[in-house]
C-alpha cells in the first residue's frame, strides 16, 4: 500500500507537470525552457521560490539535526529570514539586469557585467560544481526514503538512479514551467503532511500535546533546547549559529538556480511581494523541529550515525502504511521538484557559458539540445557521488554554500561598486577557494576563529581580495558597469 500510494503521487505529479508545461509553453526556445519565458507572476513565482527554498533538506535535514543535536537546528529559522531580507534588495536588481540585457544564466551576468566572457566560463564551472553537490542532497534523501519507508523494494543504486531520471523527466522536454507546476503540488502536500504529522505525533510518543513534546525531551535530554545542544564537541554554539546563518543568507541568492529563477519573474513587484511574505513560511520549521524531537522521544535508531533518516524511521515505525505512502510520495516530490530545477540550471550553464564560447556558431536549438545532454551527464555524476555517501544533509548543504560563496563578492559588488573588475573577481575566487580548501587554512581558522563557519571566513577573504585587486586593475567599461546599475528609465513591471 505504501509503495502504491507513493508511486501514484509521484507519477501523477510528473505527468501533470509535463502536461501543464506543454500546454502553456510556446515554441521550444532556450529562454522559454530555461526561464519560463520571463512570465512568472506572483502566484507561480511564489511556488517556484518556495520550491527551491523548502526542499527535502528542510524536512529530513532539519529534523535530523534536531534529533542528533537539538538547538542547532534553529539555524533554519535564522538563515531563511536573513536570506529574504537580502533577497528583497538583490533579486529585483538581478531581474532588471536579466530583462535589460537578455540574460538567461548567472554566468551570462558575470560575462556582461564585467565585460569578460572568460569570467562567465570560470563562474559557470564553479556554479556547476556547487549545483551537482546540491543535487546530491536530494538524491541522498531519496535513497533514505526508499531504504526505510518502502523497504527492500529497490537496491540502493536503482533508487538513486530512478530519482535522477524522474528529476530529468520534470524538465527535459518543457523546462522551468513544468518544474513550477510540480513545486506548487509539492508545497501544498508538504504543508498538509507536516501539520498532520505534528498534530498527531504527540500521542504516538507518550506526550500530551505538541508543547508537551518539548517539555519531555528537555527533561530526558537536558540542554537540548539551548546551544550548543546535545553534543558540545560539535562546536555548534552561538558563534557557529550566527556565522552559519550569514553564510547561508549571503550565498543563497548567489546560487545559479536562484539567480536564474529571478530572471523568470514577470516583474520586480512579484519578487518583492514574495520576499516580504516568504519568511512566514519558515514558521513551518517549528513543526519540523518538533518532529525531530518526537523521534528522539520515540527512541528510533537511525541506520546512519548522522541521523538523516530519523524522521523517516519515526513515520515508518509508528504510522499506518497509507500514511507512510503519503509521506514517501511527498518526500519524493520535495527532492524531485527542486532537483529538476538544479539540473535544468546546470544544463543551461553548460550550453551557454561553457560550450558556446568554444563554439560561437552554436544556434539556439543546438544550445537547447546541448543543455539536455549535459543534464543527463551531470545527473549521472551526482548519482555516482551519492552512492556510499553518508554525510549529514546539513553538512553537505554547508559545503555547497561555502563553495558558491566564492562568487558572492562578484555578485554583490556588481551592484554596489562600479570599480569592481573581472580580474578582481577572479582573484577573489581563487584566493577564497584556497582559504576554504587548503589544509593549512582550515587548521588556522580552527585556532584563530574557533566555531566560525569556514565558508564565511573564506567569503570575507575573497571580498577583500576582490576589492584590493580591483583597485589595482583597469576599471570596466561604462556599458558593462551599466548592467549592474539600475536606471529609472526601465519600467519595473512588464505589461
pLDDT digits (tens, 9 = 90+) for 282-310: 788 999 999 999 999 999 987 655 687 89
Q: How far apart (Å, rounded) are the C-alpha atoms in residues 422 and 469?
A: 10
Residue 489 — very low, low, confident or very high, per pLDDT cuts 50/70/90? very low
pLDDT of residue 488: 52
Within a domain: residue 494? no
Instruction: Look at residues 437, 53, 463, 77 and name the one whose alpha carbon lies nearest to residue 242.
Output: 77
Residue 411 — very low, low, confident or very high, per pLDDT cuts 50/70/90? very high
Within a domain: residue 237? yes
Q: How far apart (Å, rounded) are the C-alpha atoms in residues 329 and 10?
A: 6
Cis? peptide before 228, omega within 30° of 0: yes
pLDDT of residue 171: 77
Q: Which residue has the cell 518556495?
A: 50
Q: Which residue has the higher pLDDT, 12 or 31?
A: 12
Within a domain: residue 232? yes
Which SS3 state, helix, strand or coil, does residue 461 take? Answer: helix
pLDDT of residue 486: 63
> Residue 369 pLDDT > 60, yes or no?
yes
Instruction: Look at residues 456, 453, 412 and name the one whose alpha carbon lies nearest to residue 432.
Output: 456
pLDDT of residue 377: 92
Q: How far apart (Å, rounded) are the C-alpha atoms in residues 337 and 166?
A: 9
Secondary structure (DSSP) of 34-80? HHGGG-B-HHHHHHHHHHHHS-HIIIIIHHHHHHHTSGGGGHHHHHH
Write down the pTM of the prediction.
Answer: 0.89
Mean pLDDT score across all residues of the chain = 87
pLDDT of residue 183: 84
Structural domains counted in the chain: 1
- Of 5-14, 212-221, 276-285, the range with the lowest mean pLDDT is 276-285
Q: Mention every residue, 6+ apart, whose C-beta is less than 8 A from residue 172.
A: 372, 375
pLDDT digits (tens, 9 = 90+) for 425-444: 999 999 999 999 998 898 89
Instruction: Look at residues 94, 124, 90, 91 and name the one whose alpha carbon lies nearest to residue 107.
Output: 124
Residue 179 — very low, low, confident or very high, per pLDDT cuts 50/70/90? confident
The enclosing H or E element of 209 equals: none
Q: Mention every residue, 6+ apart, whose C-beta is less than 8 A from residue 184.
A: 44, 47, 51
Cell of 325: 505512502
Give the mean model confidence (pLDDT) for residues 244-256: 91
User: For 350, which DSSP code?
Assistant: I
Residue 143 — very low, low, confident or very high, per pLDDT cuts 50/70/90? confident
- Tell me the CATH number at 200: 1.20.1730.10
**Residue 68, φ and ψ in degrees, nearest 5:** -85, -40
Length of the chain: 495
pLDDT digits (tens, 9 = 90+) for 325-346: 999 899 888 888 888 888 999 9
> Residue 22 pLDDT > 90, yes or no?
no
Give the mean model confidence (pLDDT) for residues 230-240: 90
The enclosing H or E element of 92 equals: helix 75-101
Q: Which residue has the higher pLDDT, 284 or 149?
A: 284
**Residue 27, φ and ψ in degrees, nearest 5:** -60, 150
> Residue 227 pLDDT > 70, yes or no?
yes
Range of the domain at 289: 2-484
pLDDT of residue 393: 72
pLDDT of residue 495: 38
Burial group, residue 279, by CB count within 10 angstroms (0-12, 13-18, 19+): middle
The answer to whether 148 and 318 are in contact (CB under 8 A) is: no
The answer to whether 337 and 179 are in contact (CB under 8 A) is: yes
Handedness of CA 398, 416, 110, 95 (dihedral sign): positive
Q: Any long-range contacts for 219-224 (C-beta under 8 Å, 24+ apart)?
A: 220/296, 220/297, 221/70, 221/296, 223/70, 224/70, 224/71, 224/293, 224/296
> Residue 137 pLDDT > 90, yes or no?
no
Q: Please, where are the H alpha helices in 265-363?
A: 268-277, 285-298, 310-318, 321-349
Give the mean model confidence (pLDDT) for residues 22-28: 59
Within a domain: residue 157? yes
Give the mean model confidence (pLDDT) for residues 22-51: 77
CA triple 134-135-140, angle to 5 deg: 100
Q: How far apart (Å, rounded) are the C-alpha atoms in residues 223 and 122?
A: 46
> Residue 24 pLDDT > 80, yes or no?
no
> Residue 114 pLDDT > 90, yes or no?
yes
pLDDT digits (tens, 9 = 90+) for 372-394: 899 999 899 888 888 766 666 77
Cell of 34: 530555461
Within a domain: residue 489? no
Q: How far apart (Å, rounded) are the C-alpha atoms in residues 401 and 389?
A: 18
User: For 484, which DSSP code?
Assistant: G
> Residue 52 pLDDT > 70, yes or no?
no
Within a domain: residue 249? yes
Cell of 492: 519595473
Within a domain: residue 492? no
pLDDT of residue 487: 56
Give the torsion through C-alpha atoms of 480, 253, 16, 378, to 10 deg: 80
pLDDT of residue 92: 94
pLDDT of residue 493: 42
Q: Which residue has the higher pLDDT, 366 or 110?
A: 110
Q: How far apart (Å, rounded) are the C-alpha atoms in residues 36 and 51?
A: 15
Instruction: Look at residues 296, 133, 155, 288 and name the one whose alpha carbon lies nearest to residue 218.
Output: 296
Within a domain: residue 195? yes
User: For 280, which DSSP code?
Assistant: G
pLDDT of residue 389: 62
Give the torsion through C-alpha atoms of 9, 310, 404, 248, to 10 deg: 100
Residue 170 — very low, low, confident or very high, per pLDDT cuts 50/70/90? confident
Q: Which of 35-44, 110-119, 225-234, 386-395 has the highest mean pLDDT?
A: 110-119
Q: Mention every residue, 6+ apart, whose C-beta is less than 8 A from residue 427.
A: 465, 466, 469
Amino acid at each position: 500500500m505504501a509503495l502504491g500510494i507513493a508511486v501514484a503521487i509521484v507519477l501523477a505529479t510528473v505527468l501533470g507537470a509535463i502536461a501543464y508545461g506543454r500546454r502553456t509553453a510556446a515554441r521550444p526556445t532556450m529562454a522559454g525552457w530555461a526561464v519560463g519565458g520571463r512570465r512568472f507572476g506572483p502566484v507561480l513565482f511564489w511556488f517556484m521560490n518556495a520550491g527551491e527554498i523548502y526542499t527535502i533538506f528542510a524536512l529530513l535535514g532539519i529534523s535530523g539535526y534536531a534529533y542528533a543535536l537539538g538547538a542547532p537546528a534553529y539555524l533554519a529559522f535564522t538563515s531563511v529570514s536573513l536570506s529574504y531580507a537580502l533577497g528583497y534588495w538583490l533579486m529585483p536588481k538581478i531581474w532588471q539586469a536579466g530583462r535589460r540585457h537578455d540574460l538567461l544564466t548567472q554566468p551570462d551576468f558575470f560575462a556582461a557585467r564585467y565585460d569578460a566572457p572568460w569570467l562567465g566560463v570560470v563562474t559557470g564551472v564553479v556554479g556547476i560544481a556547487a549545483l551537482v553537490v546540491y543535487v546530491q542532497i536530494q538524491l541522498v534523501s531519496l535513497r533514505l526514503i526508499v531504504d526505510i519507508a518502502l523497504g527492500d523494494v529497490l537496491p540502493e543504486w536503482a533508487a538513486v538512479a530512478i530519482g535522477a531520471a524522474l528529476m530529468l523527466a520534470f524538465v527535459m522536454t518543457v523546462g522551468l514551467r513544468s518544474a513550477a507546476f510540480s513545486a506548487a503540488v509539492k508545497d501544498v502536500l508538504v504543508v498538509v503532511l507536516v501539520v498532520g504529522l505534528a498534530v498527531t505525533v504527540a500521542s504516538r510518543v507518550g506526550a500530551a500535546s505538541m508543547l508537551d513534546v518539548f517539555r519531555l525531551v528537555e527533561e530526558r535530554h537536558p540542554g537540548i533546547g539551548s546551544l550548543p545542544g546535545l553534543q558540545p564537541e560539535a562546536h555548534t554554539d552561538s558563534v557557529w549559529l550566527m556565522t552559519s546563518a550569514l553564510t547561508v543568507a549571503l550565498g543563497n541568492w548567489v546560487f545559479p538556480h536562484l539567480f536564474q529563477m529571478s530572471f523568470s519573474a514577470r516583474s520586480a513587484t512579484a519578487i518583492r511581494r514574495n520576499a516580504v511574505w516568504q519568511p512566514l513560511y519558515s514558521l513551518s520549521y517549528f513543526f519540523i523541529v518538533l518532529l525531530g524531537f518526537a523521534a528522539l522521544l520515540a527512541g528510533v535508531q537511525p541506520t546512519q550515525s548522522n541521523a538523516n533518516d530519523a524522521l523517516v524511521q519515526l513515520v515508518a515505525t509508528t504510522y499506518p502504511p497509507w500514511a507512510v505512502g503519503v509521506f514517501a510520495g511527498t518526500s519524493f516530490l520535495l527532492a524531485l521538484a527542486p532537483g529538476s530545477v538544479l539540473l535544468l540550471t546546470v544544463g543551461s550553464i553548460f550550453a551557454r557559458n561553457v560550450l558556446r564560447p568554444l563554439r560561437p556558431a552554436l544556434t539556439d536549438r543546438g544550445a537547447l539540445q546541448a543543455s539536455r545532454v549535459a543534464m543527463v551527464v551531470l545527473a549521472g555524476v551526482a548519482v555516482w557521488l551519492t552512492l556510499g555517501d553518508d554525510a549529514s544533509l546539513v553538512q553537505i548543504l554547508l559545503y555547497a554554500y561555502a563553495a558558491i560563496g566564492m562568487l558572492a563578492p562578484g555578485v554583490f559588488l556588481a551592484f554596489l561598486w562600479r570599480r569592481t573588475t573581472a580580474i578582481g573577481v577572479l582573484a577573489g575566487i581563487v584566493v577564497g577557494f584556497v582559504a576554504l580548501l587548503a589544509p593549512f587554512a582550515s587548521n588556522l581558522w580552527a585556532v584563530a576563529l574557533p566555531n566560525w563557519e569556514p565558508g564565511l571566513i573564506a567569503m570575507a577573504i575573497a571580498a577583500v581580495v576582490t576589492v584590493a585587486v580591483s583597485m589595482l586593475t583597469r576599471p570596466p567599461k561604462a556599458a558593462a558597469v551599466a548592467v549592474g546599475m539600475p536606471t529609472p528609465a526601465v519600467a519595473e513591471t512588464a505589461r
